[in-house]
A and B are shown apart, each in its own frame.
Chain A
């Protein structure tokens, strides 16, 4: 039995550092991912969060869903803000101004904050090697402002700024691969995860926090509102993304790839696409082309992990 087939809820941290009363949409798997991440990190954590869904839904003044020290500053700078928190605490501990203590420094942002507007700040923080974890909650569009496309929106998805139409397939560009960009920074830990696989997610976040230096965790976060799926299916679609190998789960530890989970039977892409309103317009031929791309990307990860299909 591995972590993907066993139910062991009893072993999971009970305390909630991200409390009820947050205003995420019904069935928000991104809020669920935040919940899981916070369970993994525990109380000795400082969080810097980018502007976006998770920030808005958790901090309408004078209320907060956070039970750990939390700071929101702007959209594109959570990686830089956490760099400052880490540097400040490090200097003050070294100088004896505050007692020494292990603190997790964690920046969080959506895919827009990470892959688009905040990529410079993230790249700078990874390059400088602060002792931090950056968690990207990727729901594959600017959901907070109303489902506009980002560079992390997959090819063919219809969004409010990449609408499908007579002259458009929807998103015309391929999804930017942020995990691979993080790997290119030669940081000691990179992982992909999904809240549909909570034990894997929590384990990776713990490992990221324990790794000295900069770590990056990319979390696929199903968004029923933006993906146009029924709210109860949020977990299912995360599972389908992984089982169809659209979103493989893997780690890159000190440059070495390790596949976290290999589906028993790789599902056809259509299993994942069908039922999602954002892909409803795609023709069989178009899906076939996307399937080829998925296969190619997955084979690459397999090759890097020295696994055989």
Chain B
């Protein structure tokens, strides 16, 4: 494939990226809004454009299990899911990380039942926040496409060997038609070498994987896993840098927009970043000293990048797309509060939970959240969270 710019649905672009990455095994189960990705992949395999095994499993639990098996033998492995599908595979999702099995998942973020809803928010991904996967959030079609390659590169890096989820907002991204630059296969081959797994399951080099741990050794196994995730940070930064050097598109764990002289910032994760930037542009016209902080890397959380991005700011208005029921706020705000806790002159954090299950958050809503949040911060009203747009 030659380098070209296409107007294309983001799900299709992602599937095309998976094919360009020359995956060996795809195992998936249909669930909205991820379906277009796997439908297109099965079509690519059926047409002979990608030589891979497409395993049409009977459940998401088995999808993740098949992925564990194929990754364990050293095959490049891809899957995709959403919401209830992720919930059903949650058990194996954790095990995949503990066994250090590289794979890439397109996680088309959707609300969790109940009540049943097929629309977008981040409650599904927050459920597996602590599983030990690498989590990247993307904002648009190009980022979705690019991060399939970066995802495999990071996940299969011998110093990392961890599963990786590319989180993209369901519908808002998956079903959007956008211009996406496709890189040529030569560039992809240069960037993404074949996976070389040291302890892949094979009769020529027998190993035992997934042994059980007594209390005497469970702690050490968990530390090994934690260190694996921490080691991923430099590999992630390097993979993004090299992708940028090849394509001109660079990614950072924390990205900022007009923050240099900003007194306060709105913090987003996922596709909201695009709208936030537009609203900030408008507010800047009115003299508001506001910027945007976007979290691209959610796990391992880039504490230092975040702290330096918000240093000297008076306040942060954090938009969460999920509730931690009975807790002190949304999961992102919680993370940021703990990242700044006890630091002198740390910015005040005001937390909004907005856009649950795809409820529209328009530019006017962003504007309202930003200005209201700023006012709250100046009055010291920083406890808990506000459920934006709630009736009654």
Contacts and interface: CB of A to CB of B under 8 A. Distances in A.
A and B touch in the complex (CB under 8 A): yes
A66 B213 CA distance: 16
B67 A62 contact: no
Given A89-B75, A90-B53, A45 B212 contact: no
A56 B212 contact: yes
Nearest to B55: A87
Contact of A94 (B51, B71, B211): B51
Given A89-B73, A121-B65, A72 B201 contact: no
Nearest to B194: A97
6 contacts: A62-B211, A69-B203, A73-B65, A84-B68, A91-B24, A124-B62
A44 B206 CA distance: 9
Q: In this complex, which of B59, B61, B65, B71 has the most chain A Cβ atoms within 10 angstroms of its Cβ?
A: B65
Contact of A91 (B25, B66, B92): B25
A123 B25 CA distance: 20
Interface in A119-141: 120-121, 123-125, 127-128
Interface of A: 43-46, 48, 55-56, 59-64, 66-74, 76-77, 79-92, 94-95, 97-98, 101, 103, 120-121, 123-125, 127-128
B217 interface: yes
B223 interface: no
Contact of B211 (A61, A76, A124): A61
Contacts of A70: 201, 206-209
B336 interface: no
Given A74-B92, A77-B62, A81-B66, A87 B75 contact: yes
Nearest to A107: B69
Contacts of A71: 68-69, 72, 201, 208-210
B95 A87 contact: no
Interface in B10-67: 24-25, 27, 51-53, 55-59, 61-62, 65-67
B209 A124 contact: no
Contacts of A81: 65-66, 68-69, 72
A48 B203 contact: no
Given A73-B65, A81-B69, A84-B67, A66 B208 contact: yes
A43 B66 CA distance: 23
Interface of B: 24-25, 27, 51-53, 55-59, 61-62, 65-75, 77, 91-92, 95, 99, 194, 201-203, 205-214, 217, 221
B95 to A, nearest CB: 6
3 nearest CB pairs, A to B: A84-B69, A88-B75, A88-B70
A25 B235 CA distance: 46
A80 B62 contact: yes
A88 B209 contact: no
A73 B214 contact: no
A80 B52 CA distance: 17
A73 B75 contact: no
B59 A121 contact: yes
Given A87-B70, A121-B61, A60 B212 contact: yes
B89 to A, nearest CB: 10
Contacts of B207: 69-70
A85 B211 contact: no
Given A80-B69, A88-B77, A91-B53, A46 B61 contact: no
A92 B210 contact: no
A87 to B, nearest CB: 4
B25 A88 contact: yes
Contacts of B211: 59-64, 72
B210 A72 contact: yes
B201 A69 contact: yes
B61 A77 contact: yes
Given A87-B69, A88-B69, A88-B74, 7 more contacts: A70-B207, A72-B210, A77-B61, A81-B65, A85-B201, A124-B62, A125-B62
A83 B207 CA distance: 19
Q: In this complex, which of A44, A81, A125, A127 has the most chain B Cβ atoms within 10 angstroms of its Cβ?
A: A81
Q: In this complex, which of B24, B74, B92, B205 has the most chain A Cβ atoms within 10 angstroms of its Cβ?
A: B24
B385 to A, nearest CB: 35
A59 B214 CA distance: 10
A84 B72 contact: yes
B202 A88 contact: no
Q: In this complex, which of B69, B207, B221 has the most chain A Cβ atoms within 10 angstroms of its Cβ?
A: B69
Q: In this complex, which of B68, B71, B207 has the most chain A Cβ atoms within 10 angstroms of its Cβ?
A: B68
B92 A46 contact: no
A210 B209 CA distance: 25
A74 B212 contact: no
B199 to A, nearest CB: 9
Contacts of B213: 60-61
Contacts of B57: 80, 83, 124, 128
Contacts of B92: 73-74, 77
Contact of B217 (A43, A62, A87, A88): A62
A83 B51 contact: no
Q: In this complex, which of A74, A87, A121 has the most chain B Cβ atoms within 10 angstroms of its Cβ?
A: A87
Contacts of A128: 55-57
A86 B24 CA distance: 11
Contacts of A92: 24, 73-75
Nearest to A65: B208
Q: In this complex, which of A45, A72, A88 has the most chain B Cβ atoms within 10 angstroms of its Cβ?
A: A88
Nearest to A46: B201
A132 B201 CA distance: 16
Nearest to A102: B203
A37 to B, nearest CB: 16
Given A70-B208, A84-B27, A94-B51, A121 B202 contact: no
A84 B71 contact: yes
